[in-house]
Structure 1
Amino acid sequence: MTPRMLKIATRSSPMALAQVERVRVELDAAFPGLRVEVVPITTSGDRHLGPLSQLGGKGAFTKEVDAALLDGRADMAVHCMKDVPGDRPVPAGTVFAAYLKRDDIHDALLHPGGRRLEELAAGTRIGTSSVRRVAQLGRLYPELECVPVRGNANSRLARLEAGDVDALLLAVSGLERIGRSDAVTQVLDLETMCPPVGAGVLGLQVREGDEQAHRYAAELADVGTWRQTTAERTLLHVLQGHCNSPIAGYAYTEPDGRLSLRARVFSPDGKTILDAHEWADATQPEVLGTSVALTLLRLGARQVIDAIPH
């Protein structure tokens, strides 16, 4: 018998609430009559506008949501997988039961004058706090100036409109979720801007042993996304990068069914770049993620990562 209500915890930003709405719509289609209550939580990462390293990294966006799941205030949590730490296990007592079908993994340039990245003048102020984006811009466009900009996508767009920065770099998927695809000037190719692990993926986290919540999540699961995300997060776990480590990578399914994983480790200025790209049977994502990580470590990734202050 379908329970009367499912409580879903999420960050309280407009984008996070839009993500939960997608989950609610998909649950409604799969389980008619199920009532969903959203439990919005303002995390320490949302409140703090300084470097994430001051809060211990990406976990600043997830730990309060995890707590709501563990103490019973919620039955499920929705996370952007790019915000979930990959260098340590998920909190004991919880598990990611499903990943939804993946959204766009590209980054986008937003410029009020409609200019493309290669058309920007030296000294143009690019708003981003992502060490991954800063490193890749430094590699290809060292003449541009990166300006730290934290906060949710809406607040960053407000900073751009106020003239605090000349342009922004944001995720295409995030802009689509808040209905601001119109702001995109240029979608950057994956060679120019390799995405973060978990880009475009929404994960459904539940308590271990909660069979009902597992059943709901499983109905929304996408097998291809599960394999891709597992390969990527295995890579991150083996590399043991910290929040200041510019690490990028994405997996995809080839037409012949094999799973491919491309990954890069950068120095903060982008002058050092380690690159690995391998393939494996689609049913062995952990093997692929581990193999690519070990290749990067053989190339010197440990020394690059450990040399970065955090």
Structure 2
Amino acid sequence: MTDALQDAFPDRPLRIGTRSSPMALHQAGGVRDRIQKRVPGLDVEIVPMTTTADLWPGDLSELGGKGLYTKEIDRALMAGRVDIAVHCMKDVPGDVPIPPGLAFGAYLERDDVHDVLVTRDGTPLDKLPAGSVIGTSSVRRRAQLHMVRPDLRAERIRGNVNSRLGKLDNDHTYAGLILARAGLRRIGATGRHVEVLPVEFDPADEGVVSMVPAVGAAVIGIQARQADVPIMRLLDELNHPATAAHILAERTMLHLLRGHCNSPIAGYASTAEDGLMSLSGMVFDRDGFTFVRTHMRGDPADPATLGSRVASDLLHQGARDLITATRK
């Protein structure tokens, strides 16, 4: 495999396409380091791109959805301007097919999936005064927040993690932000005042705000052209099989729900202590006052079937009406 890659790139670097945000560049740098560890001496270049979604100041649903985080990078990959593409899997839409000829060859081991509340002074969520403004652009997070604290105001906030933290510090409109803990660690911001929110929703504990993760949360996917056999073989060596199985279960559920960019859908697969695969799925209305939820376990060798079963149960409970309502 090493010789084949060296032969494929005798006079130019292997090019990694990625978004240009600090977190995306950090992730791409990690992929570059993994590749160079596998293929010592291989020249690898990171090619940052500013996507349509990065430039749009408004609601992504008005422009076409999450696929705008990946479309330009995928086009560059199809055109041969880059050789692999690095994506956050939560930004890869479930209702838009992967472009023909491309495939995800590797999923890196999942990072921390917890969401956190970030405040200036460490005030916990249950102590924030009624009417406090929480910054989040995620319908999923807003819905789960409103399930327990409908007295708080969730306001859209765009930009990368660094810029959002700057708004919290300098614009006292916001009492706090809900962000991914893994994202804070990647940019070296773990010293902030944070409250870690549980990833499990417990209906018996109505006073606790949980944040079941988004489908694909904290997973980096690496995409390439299927015809580039040496690269696809390299990606297979980088792939983390358990994470790949979890992603297949989650994205099967998402695909069958036909969730769009504005759908408040949460889904999280993991491997239980007894070796079975566990998958939780949730679908909310726009405000989080109505929701359906299910949790199932299944054969880890057949994650797609588990994802199908969870989606079927959610649809039986009325998930289609909730998802359709968010398109209006």
TM-score interval for Structure 1 and Structure 2 normalised by the shorter chain: over 0.9
In structure 1, the partner of 2:40 is: 32
Uncovered stretches (5+) of structure 2, i.e. residues with no partner: 202-209
Deviation at 1:88, TM superposition (A): 2.8
In structure 1, the partner of 2:75 is: 67
Q: How many residues align?
A: 310
Conserved 8 A contact 1:109-1:186: yes
Q: Which of 182, 185, 190 lines up with 2:194 in the alignment?
A: 185
CA–CA separation in structure 1 for the residues paired with 2:113 and 2:249 = 15
For residues 156-200 of structure 1, the C-alpha deviation after alignment (integer angstroms, 9 at most, x for no partner) is 111111124221111111111111122251111012111100000
In structure 1, the partner of 2:245 is: 227
For residues 48-83 of structure 1, the C-alpha deviation after alignment (integer angstroms, 9 at most, x for no partner) is 121010111100100001011000010100000000
Conserved 8 A contact 1:108-1:184: no
For residues 109-138 of structure 1, the C-alpha deviation after alignment (integer angstroms, 9 at most, x for no partner) is 100110111111111110111110111111
For residues 220-259 of structure 1, the C-alpha deviation after alignment (integer angstroms, 9 at most, x for no partner) is 1101100001100110000001222100010001122211
SS class of match (1:7):
strand
CA–CA separation in structure 2 for the residues paired with 1:106 and 1:142 = 21
Q: Which of 14, 27, 30 lines up with 1:19 in the alignment?
A: 27
Conserved 8 A contact 2:89-2:216: yes
Conserved 8 A contact 2:215-2:268: yes
Q: Which of 157, 166, 169 lines up with 1:149 in the alignment?
A: 157
TM-score between the two structures when normalised by the length of structure 1: 0.98
Conserved 8 A contact 2:67-2:96: no
Q: Which of 54, 59, 73 lines up with 1:51 in the alignment?
A: 59
What are the residue-to-residue correspondences of 1:84-99 with 2, within 5 Å?
Answer: 84-99=92-107
TM-score between the two structures when normalised by the length of structure 2: 0.92
In structure 2, the partner of 1:211 is: 229
Conserved 8 A contact 2:277-2:300: yes
Is 2:260 aligned against 1:242?
yes
Is 2:128 aligned against 1:110?
no
Is 2:183 aligned against 1:165?
no
CA–CA separation in structure 2 for the residues paired with 1:196 and 1:114 = 25
In structure 2, the partner of 1:132 is: 140
In structure 1, the partner of 2:14 is: 6
RMSD: 1.1
In structure 2, the partner of 1:297 is: 315
CA–CA separation in structure 2 for the residues paired with 1:217 and 1:116 = 42
CA–CA separation in structure 1 for the residues paired with 2:70 and 2:81 = 15
Q: Structure 1 pair 156/189, CA: closer, same or farther in 2 (3 Å)?
A: same
Conserved 8 A contact 1:93-1:208: yes
Q: Which of 257, 261, 274 lines up with 1:256 in the alignment?
A: 274
CA–CA separation in structure 2 for the residues paired with 1:186 and 1:258 = 30
CA–CA separation in structure 2 for the residues paired with 1:55 and 1:256 = 44
SS class of match (1:165):
coil
Conserved 8 A contact 2:26-2:186: yes
SS class of match (2:126):
helix
Counterpart of 1:235, as a letter, is: M
CA–CA separation in structure 1 for the residues paired with 2:113 and 2:227 = 32
CA–CA separation in structure 2 for the residues paired with 1:224 and 1:98 = 11
For residues 268-289 of structure 1, the C-alpha deviation after alignment (integer angstroms, 9 at most, x for no partner) is 1111110011111111011111
SS class of match (1:175):
helix
Conserved 8 A contact 1:228-1:285: yes
SS class of match (2:293):
strand
CA–CA separation in structure 1 for the residues paired with 2:23 and 2:92 = 16
SS class of match (2:191):
helix
Q: Where do 4+ consecutive residues of structure 1 move more than 4 Å? A: none
Uncovered stretches (5+) of structure 1, i.e. residues with no partner: none
Conserved 8 A contact 2:259-2:323: yes
CA–CA separation in structure 1 for the residues paired with 2:54 and 2:165 = 16
SS class of match (2:93):
coil
Counterpart of 1:151, as a letter, is: G
